[in-house]
Structure 1
């Protein structure tokens, strides 16, 4: 009888356990193309926008792949720009400030990796000379900054701008003339950049040196329209530093912008403090994807939200509920009725034995 009860308990427990059983040819800030015999992919573009009400600063960094040794891109800006190398550490600071809060959330039934589904413990080179003059193009300045040959230009004619770029080694798409016309009409200026590693023969790969661009602007704007020339999906990570929580005024043809962090920060030192002037600012982190770049129809115009509501993502890690020395709660819950059945069966068995023994004694 004891063996039968044990077998019954094992069968019931087994029944319960068994029942459980993308190269891109454009970037977010402008057009990027390699030389004609190579390919380049912009895996990720991450930028910081700092706006103090009058002046805008953009620090941008590209993560690229492919086999191109040279590439070029152009970024329209609404005013006279200055360009210098940025400090890559600012991205590390912002990543730490905006990382998600991690919490543990218990679950009842065992999952893959928990007993009894697993027997483990659960571990598991100098700047090039200026080009020839063109009546439709003005050269504000030209510098060599790290791996970048930077030209700051004005233009009154889109064809003249394209001709100057091609004459001076900036090999850009045929569509550029049409795409820059809206900027020419609005009298914007341009930052044209050639990417060429200082060591000849080295392909452009990984995180490139960041660039820091500064210009006056009455409203914060992030140039995006030239990205419509991209051939593959694009992604953008944008950190916005301003007096208030900020948001794009529209999706401009991409997916809905996702806020991944919003809150006040007060950096005391380091490159982030230099960027903010040591003043407390509101930081908004935004992610956006552009599955069909051809649908991009404008630049990102940023505006303050109605309220400075703070936000931080929360990432939950599941943990099996246990008690005592790590005994799963589900096992106790499932076992309790079984133990009760077994105890009842034992009681019945003992009573039968007593009656049997009493009957045998009476017979004697």
Structure 2
């Protein structure tokens, strides 16, 4: 059952564009996926990890789906021959933990909301094999749980479309045109469909991841098939490499945003195995308001500097001294000092001896003058 969900991952990838814990209604970023006729499938989230060491690339994808579809098919172009296996779901939990925000305390002097004498709370958040005669070559066919996986080469998109339909991989007619650029560049393809089961149940919930590995001298994330999407798309991608990575262009979308960048140390488990030799994690998000404008695949290159980026959640605290707000001590101390100074001045003046005023002298008196005459 668990592996059946994985195939659902692949299946969900045709009407869904690459997204990463963002919004529903995608158009498969790393490929294209469709349910069978009269059935529907919706992708509520997609997580993708790209690991590149300069010679080899690995892509691990996991989808969370809902709907009534019990069968679906998915196709993903790859620049070189790929191997496919089931991935480890624990990888994504470890990545989330590695990217978790750091919590820091930030002190302030004057009271804010939540500090006495105010009564509301405020927390701040800081910053190939040769093709067959018919134009299609079958490199390999394998079962992964309920998934039927075919690895193909093709020199003609029409022949590829015909082969897919003849072997139970049902895709829309317009996919033929979308695949032409990959045929021209001699890429290969990984096609997946959910193998028939006696008891058909809808594909729902988080599917087991699919893990693809292929040789590549550049880090590339296939995005061209996302042009098939009819609604705005969101891209979310974890990139593991030796250094911080950045996209070369926007390929028709908004400017990508780095939500995390940094070395992840030496984790154990699935992340430790995948990140061995590529310890620098870069997490990118990007919006595609108009998927029809997507001009190609994402190629990633080393960023200019390995600057760390991580969300910080600040807890604002009022600065205190021995449990007493510093501002209250300062203001109260200032007022006390001023009052003391005034009191001292008054006391000193009250104790100063009073100098009596000088005596007032009356003018001298003269006897009345005798009349002359």
Q: TM-score, normalised by structure 1?
A: 0.73
Per the TM alignment, residue 142 of structure 1 is displaced from its structure 2 partner at its CA by: 1.7
1:137 aligns with 2:136: yes
Q: Find the residue that maps to 2:225 and give its secondary structure.
A: helix
Which residue number corresponds to residue 225 of structure 2?
Answer: 226
**CA gap 1:188/1:67 in 2 versus in 1, 3 angstroms:** same
Contact 1:266 1:280 in 2 (8 A): no
Instruction: List aligned pairs for 1:1-364, cutoff 5 A.
Output: 24=25, 26-106=27-107, 108=110, 110-111=112-113, 135-195=134-194, 200-267=199-266, 269-276=268-275, 278-279=276-277, 281-307=279-305, 309-319=306-316, 321=318, 323=320
Aligned equivalents of 2:311, 2:293: Cα separation in 1: 32
Count residues with an aligned counterpart.
313
Distance change >3 Å, CA 67–CA 322, structure 1 → 2? farther
Higher relative helix content? 1
Give the Cα separation in 1 of the matches to 2:196 and 2:24: 19
Per-residue deviation, residues 236-290 of structure 1 (Å, max 9, x unmatched): 22222222221110111222111122223343642223224x4363222222222
| Structure number with larger C-alpha Rg | 2
- Match of 1:93, SS? helix
Instruction: Quote the Cα distance in structure 1 between the aligned partners of 2:270 and 2:198.
Output: 27
DSSP-derived class of the 1:27 partner: coil
Distance in 1, Cα, partners of 2:330 & 2:35: 64
Per-residue deviation, 1:160? 1.2
Q: Contact 1:100–1:312 (CA<8 Å) still a contact in 2?
A: no
**Bigger shift: residues 321-330 or 69-78:** 321-330
For the residue of structure 1 that corresponds to 2:134, the secondary structure is: coil
Taking a change above 3 Å as real, the CA distance of residues 315 and 264 of structure 1, as seen in their structure-2 partners, is closer
Distance 1:197 1:63, change over 3 A: farther
Unaligned runs of 5+ in 1: 1-21, 123-132, 348-364
Instruction: Please tell me whether the aligned partners of residues 71 and 196 of structure 1 are also in contact (alpha carbons under 8 angstroms).
Output: no
1:274–1:197 distance in 2 versus 1, CA, 3 Å: farther
Q: How much is the aligned-residue C-alpha RMSD, in angstroms?
A: 3.5
Q: CA deviation at 1:76?
A: 0.3
The answer to whether the 8 Å contact 2:51/2:59 transfers is yes
Distance 1:39 1:296 in 2: 25
Q: 1:147 to 1:237 in 2, by over 3 A?
A: farther
Q: Is contact 2:29–2:235 with CA below 8 Å preserved after alignment?
A: yes
CA separation of 1:144/1:54 partners in 2, compared to 1, >3 Å: closer, same or farther? same
